[in-house]
Amino acid sequence: MSENQPELKRTLGLLDATSIVAGSMIGSGIFIVTSAMARDVGSAGWLLVVWLLTGLITVFAALSYGELAGMMPNAGGQYIYIQRAYGRMISFLYGWTVFTVIQTGVIAAVAVAFAKYTSVFFPELNNTIIEIGASYKITYAQLVGMASVVFLTYINSRGVQNGKTIQLIFTSAKLFALFALIVLGIAIGIKGDVLVANFTNMWEASKTTVGADGTISVIPLAGSALLGAMGATIINSLFSSDAWNNVTFIASEIKDPKKNIPRSLFLGTFIVTIIYILANVAYLSLLPMHGDPNATDALGQGIMFPSNDRVGAAAASMIFGAPAAFIMAALIMVSTFGCNNGLVLAGARLFYAMAKDGLFFKGAATLNKKNVPSKALWLQCIWACVLCLSGKYGDLLTYATFASLLFYILTIAGIFVLRKKEPDTERPYKAFGYPVIPALYILVTTAICIDLLIYDTMNTGLGLMIVLIGIPIYYITQKRPALD
């Protein structure tokens, strides 16, 4: 590389890296998905078990990734690890899936969630601008979501310090707000009888559904049916805990990456796991597990049936009363905005690394005068905005989470592959509990994927199809040195 050519600078410390891990994980999911999970398992005990299992899976994965991050502290992170273990085609399939649905789909969904909660303060954002048929429409909220992606892309294109500052401010704010919600929720709830009622029959599992006529159906769960329900519903909590790996994409901009990336992976995932479990304890302290979908108050609706599944807002209403809707809307706006900043900042570095390998648009391999991959940032922005307009970002998240799990399995299996292929390569950090912890992660996550293929065949099948579509695209594009 010539002296005059810009290059990525190592300007991010351990605190910055940890804030990217935690900030990218915490979006809107923790405030919503517990309702669907409660309907799927029907008991406080099994609900917390699923969240605890999610946390263990995530922390185990992060601890295992530390070995690969220490070996290969370069921009692109997981993409680089997969290429080193399995070759160019598999790494392209990963990058292809990240660009088409995983990173950009999550950015789009989080952006629209930000806009939807902004509409609590400005209801006119829910108005429709264009409607085509019965299934497609564009609202002002979607445009606001797009505008937030464009704004964050512009800020990050002006230098990594800008993205770092936003990340620290917004991650700190949402961690403080979540901590306050947890402390107040448990403190208030422990004085009432809701918590005791929720844990009296905490292991009596059931699946609750509501028919078209409003009839509630409750099916007891035990044995394999319970395991199936837990395996299917864990996709919700895993989505809420995803994106922790984004810090590996920016490895070339982290100081002392061989130490700081493994540390930030553990610290960030551990902090978020504790917060998520405690947030659910707060929900269980304030709201009954079961409820009536036709009730008009939060206590009557319970955890299962809050309006639009907004369990966080329902819990907050038990603390703050009428202003809760606005307090939670503001919290989720802060949470989603900070989450998307981390996703926008990190994702572009992966596409930059792909472009340098001739596996992405070659213009994305260049840095601007601020030493950031601005073209990769704007390409990511454009596709995320298209997904915002598509209205299919919710479906994409389901496909993307399954695809993410597949590549997490491959990546951690890569630890075993590289131990055999490159036994003498320096490993500043070795995977915690090797070979047991990485192997346990692979077994548990594979079981979840099989469970999802059985119980949610359509969505998981589509996720797998998106990955496989990348195979012919890889061979077509490899006829040229890089995409034009």
**What are the tens digits of pLDDT across the range 263-300?**
999 999 999 999 999 999 999 999 999 988 888 888 89
pLDDT digits (tens, 9 = 90+) for 68-101: 998 998 888 899 999 999 999 999 999 999 999 8
User: Taking residues 462-482, what's their average pLDDT?
Assistant: 83
User: Three-state SS for 306?
Assistant: coil
pLDDT for the residue 468: 93
Question: Range with the lowest mean pLDDT among 44-53, 83-92, 266-275, 392-401?
Answer: 392-401
CA nearest neighbour of 394 among 285, 295, 268, 309 = 309
**Per-residue confidence (pLDDT) for residue 4, from 0 to 100:** 56
pLDDT higher than threshold 70 for residue 2: no
Q: Considering only CA atoms, which of 145, 238, 175, 143 is closest in space to residue 441? A: 238
Predicted confidence at residue 401, as pLDDT, reads 81
Does the structure show a pLDDT above 60 at 333?
yes
Q: Is 425 exposed, middle or buried (0-12, 13-18, 19+ CB in 10 A)?
A: exposed
Q: Tens of pLDDT along 159-183?
A: 999 999 999 999 999 999 899 999 9
Most confident of 441-450, 452-461, 472-481: 441-450
Q: Encode burial over 102-131: b for 16+ CB neighbours within 10 A, e otherwise.
A: bbbbbbbbbbbbbbbbbbbeeeebeeeeee
* Cβ-contact 69, 349 below 8 angstroms: no
Kindly give, in sequence order, each residue whose CB lies less than 8 Å from that of residue 299, ignoring residues fewer than 6 positions away.
287, 288, 318
Residue 480 has pLDDT above 80, yes or no: no
Domains of the chain, residue spans: 14-477
Percent with pLDDT over 70 in the chain: 96
Q: What is the mean pLDDT of the chain?
A: 90
Determine the pLDDT at residue 402: 85
Asked whether the beta carbons of 377 and 344 are under 8 A apart, the reply is yes
Contact 299, 288 (CB under 8 A): yes
Domain 14-477: state its class: mainly alpha
